[in-house]
Amino acid sequence: MFRNIFLTLLLFIIFNSCISQQGNNEIIIPFESYEDWIFVKAKLNDSIKLDLMFDTGFNTTLLNSTRADKLNMIPDGKAEFFGAIGEDSLYYFVNNNLMIGKVKLDKLQFIKAPLEDMELKFGKSIDGMVGYDFLKGRIVRLNFDKNCLEIFDKFEDIKTKPQNYFSITMRDNIPSINAILWINKNDTVRGNFILDTGYNSSLVVGTPFVNKYNLLEKVKNTYKFNSVGILTSDSRTFKARIHKFSFCGYDFFNMPVTFSQATTGTLSESEYDGMIGTEVLKRFNIIFDYQNSRIYLEDNKSYKESYRVNCSGMEVKLSKNRKKVIIHDVYANSPASEAKLKKGDEIIKIEGKQAEKLKLTEIKKMLREKGHSIEITVRDSNETRTIQLKLRELI
């Protein structure tokens, strides 16, 4: 009897040992999804805790200037940096290490850039960004169903995986893929677009592509708004719906698309035709295989989600001291402009709740409720007033 128990125990230990060894081929790193941006926890130089945006369209690693200054970090040099809608000369640091979960990035070079404008408009602190430095040499599954990154040494280590793959182009360590825009049922244009988890909308089309095909003349019901970047002040852009967007055999109908008129940065250049953002990418669990220049797509539980659309005609952000909610932009011919709201007005209350006690994401969600009428109390330099804002889709 004791012999049988011993053999059973031995077999149990061997079996679990095999499972453990198999599990060692996979590293799981949880992430936070915030307004469709992806954030991972990290440690800089084995001690400093960071909250980093995971950005597949970013070919280096970045540390927020505010964070770097608080840490009294001394730069090792200065170099030109080229971003989505801007370029500048930035300080950089070398020979650092970064730990994300159990993945260690050694001898890392990263740049220092101000992210305060982004933080105020997003309502979240951003310590920095990481992209290619994390993805290179690894097989990474971006699992939106489970809100985690799954890292594998070899493709064969993945237990369940899609069979079909799609080729991507790697230029300057940034992944891009071919896609088709159906502006209407008869008018199509083809382009090559960055796969960009650092862009939290559906699709942005670059200035040269927009102008080459006269896209702003072909789309209907556009509205203007400001797009924020790392290195520049706001860049004026347009939003409209197109009939269909197709890539990798998937079709997305009546999709909101941003049409850039940026004059600096990646979106002003013709190397790429634009960026596919997380409002599309989150509909898949994606395997990035940079070693073989491939991605694998598997549609997930978010595949049929509706798109976020501005229904108020205004953009809000936090004040400099992060204690007030300010109207940052008002669109023409919108509920906000019709209510005579202005840039710079402070939102005191929304639906009877103190705005300063709400998260910015909660306020933005309220302003996207199509068909709803919401009560807003605002204050400008002269008066405080309460209005009813009837929300409607602008496109």
The CA distance from 334 to 331, in Å, is 6
Would you state the pLDDT for residue 20? 34
Alpha helix stretches (DSSP H) within 108-254: 116-122, 132-135, 207-212, 215-218
Q: Distance from CA of residue 323 to its chain's centroid?
A: 25
CA dist 280 and 195 (Å) reads 10
Task: Give the model's pLDDT for residue 7.
Answer: 38
Per-residue pLDDT 10s for the chain (395 aa) are: 433 433 343 334 333 433 333 445 789 999 999 999 999 999 999 889 999 999 999 999 999 999 999 999 999 999 887 665 456 789 999 999 999 999 999 999 999 999 999 999 999 999 999 999 999 989 999 999 999 999 998 888 898 878 789 999 999 999 999 999 999 999 999 999 999 999 999 999 999 999 999 999 999 888 887 766 554 555 679 999 999 999 999 999 999 999 999 888 889 899 999 999 999 999 999 999 998 999 999 999 999 999 999 999 999 999 999 999 999 999 999 999 999 999 999 999 999 999 999 999 999 999 999 999 999 999 998 899 999 999 999 98
pLDDT at 234: 55
At residue 19, the pLDDT reads 32
Q: What is the pLDDT of residue 263?
A: 87
Q: Can you give the pLDDT at residue 48?
A: 93
* Alpha-carbon distances of 61 from 58, 134, 264, 338, rounded to whole Å: 7, 9, 21, 43
315: tokens are 């953009």
Expressed in percent and rounded to 5, the helix, strand and coil fractions of the chain are 20, 45, 35
Residue 353's pLDDT is: 96
Spell out the residues 6+ positions from residue 267 whose beta carbon is closer than 8 angstroms to its own.
Answer: 84, 85, 204, 206, 207, 235, 260, 274, 275
The answer to whether 98 and 105 have CB atoms below 8 angstroms apart is yes
Domains of the chain, earliest start first? 169-283 (2.40.70.10), 314-390 (2.30.42.10)
**pTM (predicted TM-score):** 0.90
Q: What gap in Å lies between CA 24 and CA 19, rounded to an integer? A: 9
